Structure 1
Amino acid sequence: MDLFLGPVKLTVLNKSNQLVFKLLPSSGYTKPIIQSSAHYKCHYHTTNNLPPVNSYQKKLTGESTDKEMMPYNWHILYGNGEIVINVDYLKQNEAIEELVAFVNNDKKEINIWIKPTTQEALIIDPLFQPLGSLLMVYLAYYTGGFLIHASGVTLNHHSFLFTAVSGTGKSTMAGLWKKAGADVINDDRLWLHKVNGIWHMFNTPMVFYAQTPKKSKIDGIFLLKQSKTNELHQLTGLNASMRVMANCIQHFFNQEMTQEHLDRVLDFTTNTPIYDCGFKPDGEIVEEIRGLMV
């Protein structure tokens, strides 16, 4: 089975009789939307004894504060030229107790070892949470791009990216544009990648709904904030770029990775207009933004 995420071709190889793959969020991602620039083989295993990670150094940890919304803790380790993703599942009724994934970019190989809590068949999407989300951060990095918390829309040959912290209006803005006839690329997370020297946004498999792959160039970046009136102000300079970068997904842990990520964000933001965007939740903001393109 092959899945296609932006510029990445991911060949899924089942090495376990217990695993059964059922495409849910990933169901639309079985055909490429652009020519793949990297091909990774992804081997899935089940075991009662996970490979040891003692020789790897722990770099990052994401701890759950709500076991219902986030029923796991995740850890990023590094060593031997590999990134290791380790996930501990917290709820007793979870079918998986723990997993370890070894990402070797030099070999273009990913080995995922899953420790199940049962001997019954384990039915999963290959990009189940949080493995899929964490993998995409590093696959985007290794292929010259990055992920950002943002919604994206395209209408009448113009495309816009709306970014903000959770709960500030990314999905609301996407909904307003959809009512106006726009195509929504995604309403929460975008994969940014250069195509023929131009930054494009791609959607990614989401947990709660399925999409077909979409992409578009980006004509403007809008930093959202809630407001009683619609306000649009163009921003320039390093501060504007850093405000965009603050909403990027940045699970990086050494100077080289951080510098490369910074360089890409600066390249994107210095070549794309940035606007401060306070807005009311109605269609007026759509027309005001469209007016910028006249």
Structure 2
Amino acid sequence: MPIYKIANINIKINPKSQYLSALLRDYETNENNFDFTVTVTENDIINEKKIAPNFPDFLYESSATLRNISKEIFNNYNGVLFHSVAIEYSGKAYIFTAKSGTGKTTHIMLWKKCLGDNVKIINGDKPFIRFIEDKPIVFGCPWQGKENLGENTSCELGGIFFLQRAKENSVEPLPKEKSLFPLLNACDFPKNSMGKIKAMDFIEKLTKNTPIFLLKCNMNDDACYTALSAIGEENEN
């Protein structure tokens, strides 16, 4: 059974479909040790079908695999699956989160357009964030969204942006008390009382030393430079 290194954790997985095997390929490792095993059961498939009916079974296998990995990492490895897009720039990772359809992917593509190879897309949909030696590290993940943007890389978190569509571009620090519950909503965790408590503890720790911003933006290049101004970067153009 192959072993895959995801979020710096060795996971033994036996893909049944070519789809899942191809999805995981870039994360396969030659290491022999593993931290845990993920096996998708018939019950897992049934539960996935209840959530989103009328899809092929290979997609249910894929979503169940991710769900099981996310649960294990949340419970035992001090990490969460974070519904957002993540980029690396100037040695730090930046997370952009917003409601679906706001334009997260469009925004990070502005960064690529304006800053070229200085920007690396870590993940276009579902990065993991783990605390390692008390530092929040953003990890790429095989599940990269419909645009399939991302790679097998990691970087220390430098900041979080909440995106809002607007006619004019502006950015401002977001007070911690206004960011806690939106960040909680972006996390994947068991929706029970203990899960919520643990997730809130994670978010409290995440926000302790991480700059958080509200970025109101349009889809012009200046939106990228407005965001850059918040992290102390000059517009070199």
1:147-175 deviation line (CA, Å, top 9, x unaligned): 11111111222331100111111101111
| Candidates 161, 186, 193, aligned match of 2:123 | 186
Please tell me whether the aligned partners of residues 82 and 186 of structure 2 are also in contact (alpha carbons under 8 angstroms).
yes
Once the two structures are superposed, what CA deviation does each residue of 1:92-142 show, in whole Å capped at 9, x if it has no partner?
Answer: xx4x4xxxxxxxxxxxxxxxxxxxxxxxxxxx69x9432123123202212
CA offsets, 1:11-57, max 9 Å, x none?
1358xxxx56562221111139xx9x971123467xxxx68xxxxxx
1:26 aligns to 2:3 (yes or no):
no
Pair 1:160-2:94 in alignment: yes
- Which residue is 1:267 aligned to? 205
Partner of residue 132, structure 1 = 65
What's the counterpart of residue 155 of structure 2?
A: 216
After TM superposition, list the pairs within 5 Å mapping 1:143-154 onto structure 2.
Answer: 143-154=77-88
Contact 2:80–2:188 at 8 Å: present in 1 too? yes
Q: Secondary structure of 2:23's match?
A: coil
1:7–1:38: 8 Å Cα contact kept in structure 2?
no
Question: Following the alignment from structure 2 to structure 1, what is the Cα–Cα distance between the partners of residues 231 and 40?
Answer: 47
Aligned in 2, Cα 1:210/1:26: closer, same or farther, shift over 3 Å? farther
Question: 1:192-239: CA deviations, max 9, x gaps?
Answer: 101221101112112643753111111111100101000111012322
Q: Which amino acid aligns with 1:184?
A: I
2:37 pairs with one of 29, 41, 62: 41
TM-score normalised to structure 2 length: 0.80
1:145 and 1:38 mapped to 2: Cα distance?
A: 17
- Where in structure 1 are there 5+ consecutive unaligned residues? 52-60, 63-71, 75-87, 97-123
| In 2, Cα distance between equivalents of 1:4 and 1:249 | 20
Structure with a larger share of its residues in helix: 2
Amino acid at match of 1:219: G
Q: Structure 2, unaligned stretches of length 5 or more?
A: 233-237
Task: Give the deviation of 1:255 after TM superposition.
Answer: 2.2
TM-score (norm 1): 0.66
Identity between Structure 1 and Structure 2 (%): 17
State the secondary structure of the residue aligned to 2:187.
coil
Q: What residue is the counterpart of 1:7 in the other structure?
A: 8
- Relative distance call for 1:26 and 1:266 in structure 2 (3 A) is same
Q: Amino acid of the residue matched to residue 26 of structure 2?
A: G
Displacement over 6 Å in runs of 4+:
none
Give the C-alpha shift of residue 184 in structure 1.
0.8
**Partner of residue 90 from structure 1, selected from 43, 48, 54:** 54
In our comparison, the structure showing a higher alpha carbon Rg is: 1
The 8 Å contact of residues 98 and 162 in structure 2, kept in 1 or not, is answered as yes
* CA distance in structure 2 between the partners assigned to 1:217 and 1:254 by the alignment: 29
